[in-house]
Chains A and B, each alone.
Chain A
Amino acid sequence: MKCEILYPGAFPMVRVYLDASETVKAESGAMVAASPTIDIESKMEGGFLGALSRKMLSGEKFFFQTLRASRGAGEVLLAPTVPGEIVLLELDGVNEYMVQKDGFLAGAEGVKIESKMQSLTRGLLGGEGFFILKIGGTGQLVLNSFGAIHKIELKPNEEYIVDNSHLVAWSSTTTYNIEKASSGWIASLTSGEGLVCRFRGPGVVYIQSRNPGSFGNWIRQFIPVSE
């Protein structure tokens, strides 16, 4: 499997080359176009219960689609729903990323995806919900974001503060705490930041340059109210 990002920027697409009988897992509905040699299978990653728990718990789509080059090598074009950058990560079996539920776009066959329950505080306050995806294994992983993706590299014990709705993915070697943005509650709320995550290295944190929730609120004022 070989990936190439087309039209980098706000409206990118990923071209995935597959050798004969190779497969790629993608978020369901992500396929834009494909060679005639590619078959689309709907597969419940982690079995029925795994898929069900992922659907019920993390809100991730019930099925991932598996695109298989069953009749010879070919290519697949994949695109996310929201406008925003795409990033390619290479998993080597040791690296492991926690990915917020909308961040996964596609992954090679060797990429393992599970949903993971967060602690109550992180789930309640973290802004990613109680369940996030834990992605490990080997092969290429494609993540998508809302807006541009920014990579933050943290050295051991180095800290960085991120507004929780801008999180896309972070490596499992990092730890984070949720805290108020300012020292007082009032200031935290009025500053418009509310809660933030204090990450501590080592590891990598990927953030998105736009906040989907805020964008939703902003766009709501332009939606005509029917009736």
Chain B
Amino acid sequence: MALAPNALCFGDGLPGAGVPCAVMLDGESLRVSPMGPSSLVDQIVAFADMAVEAGGLDHDQLVVSWGTASSARTLYVKDPALIVAFRRAAPPELTAHLERAANQVRRARHNHRLLWGTVLGVLTGLGLLFWFGTDLMVEWAVARIPIEWEQKLGETVYQDFLSKETVLKEGPAVRAVQEMTQRLTEKIPNNPYKFQISVVQSPVVNAFALPGGYVVVFTGLMAKAESGEEVAGVLSHELNHVLQRHGMERMVKMLGLSAVVGILLGDQQGLTGLARQVGMELVTLKFGRAQETEADVTGIRLLSDARIAPDGMIRFFERLSEKDKERVEVFSTHPMSAARAALLKAELAALPKRTPEPFTFQWKTIQESLGASEPKT
């Protein structure tokens, strides 16, 4: 029967890579049959004549050595079945040493696993900390930015933006927006911001808020809205982006750690410089989903506090989502989902019922005034 090699034999005069051998247990001894072209003969090594230990790269091989000087031979056995059989057959005094080594290997392997487990655990922990920690860190850093800096920052970008646009200085539309803002801001407790609202002539259906309380409403939005309450809803949403300092949070996130460090070191100059760099990006700043939801919820509360019919906000959102194909920019970053509408409705149901007070203006008149001042396209 041709035997498959299951061990390697090393020694003087043998190849460096070892000679493949077939090793078998044979009573009180091992029969070692060298394979291959060499002229080596079978050897029978008695248990009494050999020394055993664990060896190899992972200490998982049985090393059997015998002989002295030039006839010294070392056998490396990897086959687990043979190792088990050997440990059963060999006398305890021979294997006692081996058992100790085996225990050591087991312990080393256990420690090895433990170490890797710890390393992986620590890495996972760091990963989680980084994932969830950044938001907390950003909030923490933003809370340390004085409102005045934020205003300075917002104002720079606000003026830059307005200088390129046609701003409506007066007229029914401006007065209407001022009335809405007035009613909303009155109801903000401890309001640190002095809100500035501009109405900009543009067909874009949008409104945005800059850090520091600078809000821009486009006439396109007012033309699309069916009532003043709808515009007030969007306005309330935008005001709450400012109040929750979402713009700053996004900016700190965008600019990264360097800005955070700058803020901590009180480097206002650097911050303003960076803000100029990102300039217009701030205008088109995309808020995160969580921020949008927060602005929605706090926005509808503010509407209710200001006694402006809050369902206008929901209706406007719903209408826009129906016409989503038109890419209404105000919500293009986060298209209105049924879940978002449902959330607002639930929030509205939880709010105390208040009798809404209508605005002093007639929405039709406002829209007609816009239509008159806006060139038809």
- The answer to whether residues A175 and B57 also contact, given A94-B6, A96-B78, A156-B65 and a CB cut-off of 8 A, is yes
**Contact of A22 with B by CB under 8 A:** no
The residue on A at minimum CB distance from B112 is A119
- Residues of chain B within 8 A (CB-CB) of A95 are 8, 17-18, 20
Total count of chain A residues near the partner, CB < 8 A: 26
Interface 1/0 per residue, B58-72 and A, CB below 8 Å? 110100010000001
**Contact of A154 with B by CB under 8 A:** yes
Q: CA of A151 to CA of B10 in the docked complex: distance in angstroms?
A: 16
The residue on A at minimum CB distance from B35 is A92
The residue on A at minimum CB distance from B73 is A156
**Contact of B335 with A by CB under 8 A:** no
A120 near B56 with CB under 8 A, answer no
Residue among A96, A117, A173 having the largest count of chain B Cβ atoms under 10 Å: A173
The residue on B at minimum CB distance from A116 is B58
- Residues of chain B within 8 A (CB-CB) of A98 are 57
**Contact of A159 with B by CB under 8 A:** no
Tell me how far the C-beta of A10 lies from the nearest C-beta in chain B, rounded to whole angstroms. Answer: 25
B78 near A155 with CB under 8 A, answer no
A156 near B10 with CB under 8 A, answer yes
- Residues of chain A within 8 A (CB-CB) of B65 are 156
Tell me how far the C-beta of A160 lies from the nearest C-beta in chain B, rounded to whole angstroms. Answer: 11
- The answer to whether residues A173 and B11 also contact, given A120-B119, A202-B76 and a CB cut-off of 8 A, is no
Q: State which of A120, A172, A201 has its C-beta within 8 Å of the C-beta of B116.
A: A120
- The answer to whether residues A204 and B16 also contact, given A173-B76, A175-B56, A175-B57 and a CB cut-off of 8 A, is yes
- Residues of chain A within 8 A (CB-CB) of B112 are 119-120
Q: CA of A173 to CA of B59 in the docked complex: distance in angstroms?
A: 9
- The answer to whether residues A173 and B10 also contact, given A93-B4, A202-B74 and a CB cut-off of 8 A, is yes
Give residues 21-53 of B contacting A (CB, 8 Å).
21, 35-36
Tell me how far the C-beta of B306 lies from the nearest C-beta in chain A, rounded to whole angstroms. Answer: 55
Tell me how far the C-beta of B2 lies from the nearest C-beta in chain A, rounded to whole angstroms. Answer: 12
**Contact of A203 with B by CB under 8 A:** yes
Tell me how far the C-beta of A41 lies from the nearest C-beta in chain B, rounded to whole angstroms. Answer: 29
- Residues of chain B within 8 A (CB-CB) of A109 are none
Interface 1/0 per residue, B205-245 and A, CB below 8 Å? 00000000000000000000000000000000000000000
Residue among A95, A152, A202 having the largest count of chain B Cβ atoms under 10 Å: A202
Interface 1/0 per residue, A197-209 and B, CB below 8 Å? 0000111100000
Total count of chain B residues near the partner, CB < 8 A: 31
- Residues of chain B within 8 A (CB-CB) of A151 are 16
- Residues of chain A within 8 A (CB-CB) of B116 are 117, 120
**Contact of A179 with B by CB under 8 A:** no
- The answer to whether residues A174 and B57 also contact, given A94-B8, A201-B10, A202-B10 and a CB cut-off of 8 A, is yes
Give residues 102-130 of B contacting A (CB, 8 Å).
112, 115-116, 119
Residue among A94, A153, A154, A202 having the largest count of chain B Cβ atoms under 10 Å: A94
**Contact of A65 with B by CB under 8 A:** no
B18 near A171 with CB under 8 A, answer yes
B10 near A94 with CB under 8 A, answer no
Q: CA of A149 to CA of B4 in the docked complex: distance in angstroms?
A: 30
- Residues of chain B within 8 A (CB-CB) of A201 are 10
Q: CA of A94 to CA of B112 in the docked complex: distance in angstroms?
A: 26
The residue on B at minimum CB distance from A199 is B57
- Residues of chain A within 8 A (CB-CB) of B76 are 173, 202
A94 near B119 with CB under 8 A, answer no
- The answer to whether residues A173 and B12 also contact, given A95-B17, A98-B57 and a CB cut-off of 8 A, is no
Tell me how far the C-beta of B178 lies from the nearest C-beta in chain A, rounded to whole angstroms. Answer: 51
Residue among B16, B20, B59, B65 having the largest count of chain A Cβ atoms under 10 Å: B16
- Residues of chain B within 8 A (CB-CB) of A170 are 57
B17 near A153 with CB under 8 A, answer yes
A153 near B78 with CB under 8 A, answer no
Tell me how far the C-beta of A124 lies from the nearest C-beta in chain B, rounded to whole angstroms. Answer: 10
- Residues of chain A within 8 A (CB-CB) of B6 are 94
Q: CA of A172 to CA of B17 in the docked complex: distance in angstroms?
A: 10
- The answer to whether residues A120 and B10 also contact, given A153-B15, A171-B18 and a CB cut-off of 8 A, is no
Q: CA of A117 to CA of B116 in the docked complex: distance in angstroms?
A: 10
A-B contacts, 5 of them at CB < 8 A, read A92-B20, A153-B17, A156-B65, A172-B56, A173-B56
The 6 closest A-B pairs by CB, nearest first: A153-B16, A202-B10, A156-B74, A204-B17, A94-B5, A173-B76
Q: A92-B5, A172-B78, A202-B18 are in contact. List 8 more A-B contacts (CB 8 A).
A: A95-B17, A120-B115, A120-B116, A175-B59, A176-B57, A202-B8, A203-B10, A203-B18
